């Protein structure tokens, strides 16, 4: 007898969402702790020439150092983001587990950065990409997960909408 169950048959949307969120959260917190323990503030360590560097920075702003010093605003945005995750979790019932994985990226990243902000009043950033003095704003694992999650969510929703419009009535 062959097993015809899909490989994710036992995985519930909640497990995918929470496991992804927990993985991102832990990766974010561990990498930030390592940077804080091993690099002095503002210390730079080249990884790939000057293209990619570890650069220990403190960010009191949002992702990529935007909106410095707006702690109350960031807490409001965090509550809004968590509310949107709950909304989409319910709206996606019966859809692909991919969507729950994407929500998990946003969840883990959001919780990673808000943990720092509540604990320290700032977020530790450490990934710097660029050439010489022309650099992308320094970021961290949580920022990356949030951006990848939101972009994937927007793309997925647009594909779902297009598929729904093209489906025969």
Residues assigned a catalytic role: 125, 143
Between CA 137 and CA 145, with CA 143 as vertex, the angle to 5 degrees is 140
Judging by beta carbons within 10 Å of its beta carbon (0-12, 13-18, 19+), is residue 44 exposed, middle or buried? middle
DSSP letters, 1-41, are ----S-TTTT--HHHHHHHHHHHHHHHHHHHHHHHHHHS-T
Location of structure tokens 């974010």: 28
Q: Is 71 helix (H, G, I), strand (E, B) or coil?
A: helix
Residue 53: phi, psi to the nearest 5?
A: -130, 150
Residue 42: phi, psi to the nearest 5?
A: 70, 5
The region, left, alpha or beta by phi > 0 then psi within -120 to 50, assigned to residue 145 is: alpha
């Amino acid at each position: 007898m062959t097993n015809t169950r899909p490989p994710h048959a036992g995985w519930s949307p909640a497990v995918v969402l929470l496991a992804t969120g927990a993985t991102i959260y832990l990766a974010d917190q561990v990498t930030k702790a390592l940077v804080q323990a091993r690099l002095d503030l503002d210390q730079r360590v080249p990884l790939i020439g000057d293209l990619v560097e570890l650069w220990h920075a403190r960010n009191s702003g949002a992702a990529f150092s935007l909106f410095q010093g707006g702690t109350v605003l960031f807490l409001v945005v965090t509550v809004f983001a968590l509310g949107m995750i709950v909304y989409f979790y319910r709206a996606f019932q019966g859809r692909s587990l991919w969507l729950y994985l994407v929500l998990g990226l946003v969840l883990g990243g959001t919780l990673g950065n808000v943990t720092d902000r509540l604990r320290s009043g700032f977020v530790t950033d450490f990934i710097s990409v660029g050439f010489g003095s022309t650099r992308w704003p320094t970021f961290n694992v949580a920022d990356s997960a949030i951006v990848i999650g939101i972009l994937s969510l927007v793309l997925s929703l647009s594909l779902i909408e297009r598929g729904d419009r093209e489906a025969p009535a």
